[in-house]
Amino acid sequence: QVQLVESGGGLVQAGGSLRLSCAASGRTSGMGWFRQAPGKEREFVAGITWSSGWSSGRTNYADSVKGRFGISRDNAKNTVYLQMNNLKPEDTAVYYCAARERLRTVSDLTYDYWGQGTQVTVSS
């Protein structure tokens, strides 16, 4: 069983930046971020997949955040970060961290474990 603890949400003005963190307990092979805005379905934001034989993780992003968001992982801390730059009001949502144990391709959006969510609000 993997537990996820998220942090880093908050209120920011349009054009600003925030960094979300997600610390995982237990072994994982991939983690990702999803978000859900009021009245909308949960959507994929970014993901990162890794294996012991790779020099670095492989990343995947939703088109809406490419060039603005960056996902990274600190292996020693078993923590994944989502750096969000040039934030827009439409980025306002609850952001959820997700994790999986089984190695899958980075484009595979199947995750087994979910965090409690952290609110990100971008004011115009």
Return the higher-pLDDT residue of 52 and 87: 87
Q: What is the pLDDT of residues 27-39, one digit of tens each?
A: 999 999 999 999 9
C-alpha 73 chain-centroid distance: 10
pLDDT of residue 39: 95
C-alpha 68 chain-centroid distance: 13
Quote the CA–CA distance of 32 and 22 in Å, as a whole number. Answer: 9
Question: Are 12 and 123 spatial neighbours (Cβ–Cβ below 8 Å)?
Answer: yes
Distances in Å between the alpha carbon of 38 and those of 41, 42, 43, 61? 8, 10, 12, 21
- Structure token digits, residue 39: 């009245």
Q: What is the pLDDT of residues 57-96, one digit of tens each?
A: 899 999 999 999 999 999 889 999 999 999 999 999 999 9
